[in-house]
Amino acid sequence: MDDDARPAARLTVLSGPSGVGKDSVIELIRARSPWIKLSVSVTTRKKRDYETDGEHYHFVTRSEFQRLVDGDQLLEWAEFAGNLYGTPRAQVEGWLAQGRPVLLKIDLQGARQVRATMPDAQLVFLAPPSVDELRRRLIGRGTDDEDTIRRRLAHADEELAAEKEFDRTVVNDFVERAADELVGLLGSSFLTPAQPPVSS
Ligand SMILES: Nc1nc2c(ncn2[C@@H]2O[C@H](COP(=O)(O)OP(=O)(O)O)[C@@H](O)[C@H]2O)c(=O)[nH]1
Ligand SMILES: Nc1ncnc2c1ncn2[C@@H]1O[C@H](COP(=O)(O)OP(=O)(O)O)[C@@H](O)[C@H]1O
């Protein structure tokens, strides 16, 4: 396919219930598919031990977050389980302008905002093999206290019911298989993995 025939890069949204494996899939993509740009969200949530500020999230205070909202610097934002999360606008718009494939890991409310404001975006739902397996993963991760797990599982019912609003579903049965399927969906809107552009 020559450059002119290549379809424009699209924004891809990855959503799914807490504990389904979004971070695990994204870690593999980060390591293996550097041509895919991963948006780094801002959040008021507390950092987990395995997270790095500026890589997994930009961790900010509520007043810093509010300043970003007031300045229209977030593409979308939402409150999830008591914390605020948002996508910085400038970086994503810059990558899309360069024709890069961009992946956003955002919740259902954020996915709906992107659908409304950027109708060309591709919405992908990451689904668990079963609800029991989702519960096992959330508890097994060991990062959340009992109350946080309860709140996240309560949200999961709503998120699972919204699967039909998404363009595609990827089942996270095995992380590597799920990551490959997702990269395939992103790749189809830009370059194939066999010919990645020079990463910057
Ligand atoms: N709307 C929105 N949701 C986000 C953003 N960043 C992360 N989220 C979502 O917030 C929810 C909670 O994320 P997190 O606290 O990292 O917990 P985890 O999903 O259990 O790992 C998940 O559904 C994320 O997809 C963002 O920038 N905007
Ligand atoms: N395909 C899978 N099979 C088994 N365990 C998984 C799989 N994907 C993720 N996990 C585990 O499930 C837990 C939650 O995964 P995580 O990536 O933190 O989910 P999310 O980002 O969606 O909240 C972690 O302990 C992770 O190691």
What CATH number does residue 69 fall under? Answer: 3.40.50.300
| Mean of pLDDT values over 37-42 | 97
The bound ligand whose nearest atom lies closest to the alpha carbon of 173 is 2
CA of 63 to the centre of ligand 1 (A): 19
Flag whether 10 is in a domain: yes
Residues making up the annotated binding site are 16-23
Q: Is the pLDDT confidence value at 7 over 60?
A: no
Q: What is the dihedral of CA 66, 46, 48, 74, to 10 degrees?
A: -10
Q: Tens digit of pLDDT for each residue in 74-127?
A: 999 999 989 999 999 999 999 999 889 999 999 999 999 999 999 999 999 999
Residue 197 lies in a domain: no
Task: Output the CA–CA distances (angstroms, integers) from residue 89 to 16, 67, 130, 146, 158, in the order listed.
Answer: 22, 14, 34, 34, 27
Binding-site residues for ATP sit at: 16-23
User: 126 near 170, Cβ under 8 Å?
Assistant: yes
User: Nearest to residue 109, comparing CAs of 67, 70, 155, 46?
Assistant: 155
How many residues in the chain?
Answer: 200
Range name among 41-55, 140-154, 180-194 with the lowest pLDDT average: 180-194
In a domain, 154, yes or no: yes
Q: With 60 as the cut, is the pLDDT of residue 5 above it?
A: no
Residue 193 has pLDDT above 60, yes or no: no
Q: Which atom of ligand 2 is nearest to the CA of 175?
A: 1
Q: Could you give the 3-state DSSP secondary structure of residue 192?
A: coil
DSSP per position, 147-178: HHHHHHHHHHHHHHHTGGGSSEEEE-SSHHHH
Q: Let me know if residue 89 belongs to a domain.
A: yes
Binding site membership of 17 for ligand 2 (Cβ less than 6 Å): no
**Are 102 and 9 within 8 A, CB to CB?**
yes
Average model confidence (pLDDT) across the chain: 89
Counting the structural domains of the chain, the total is 1
Query: Is 24 a pocket residue for ligand 2 (Cβ < 6 Å)?
Result: yes
* Domain assignment present for 132: yes
**pLDDT band of 143, cuts 50, 70, 90:** confident
> What 3-state DSSP class applies to 123?
strand
Q: Is residue 200 situated within a structural domain?
A: no
Q: Which ligand is nearest to the CA of 105?
A: 1
DSSP-assigned letters across all residues of 57-116: EEE--HHHHHHHHHTT-EEEEEEETTEEEEEEHHHHHHHHHTT--EEEE--HHHHHHHHH
For ligand 2, whether the C-beta of 23 sits within 6 Å is: yes
Domain annotation covers residue 192: no
Give me ligand 2 centre to Cα 88, in Å.
25
Residue 109 lies in a domain: yes
Tokens of 125: 């739902």
Report pTM. Answer: 0.89
Domain of 63, in residue numbers: 3-187
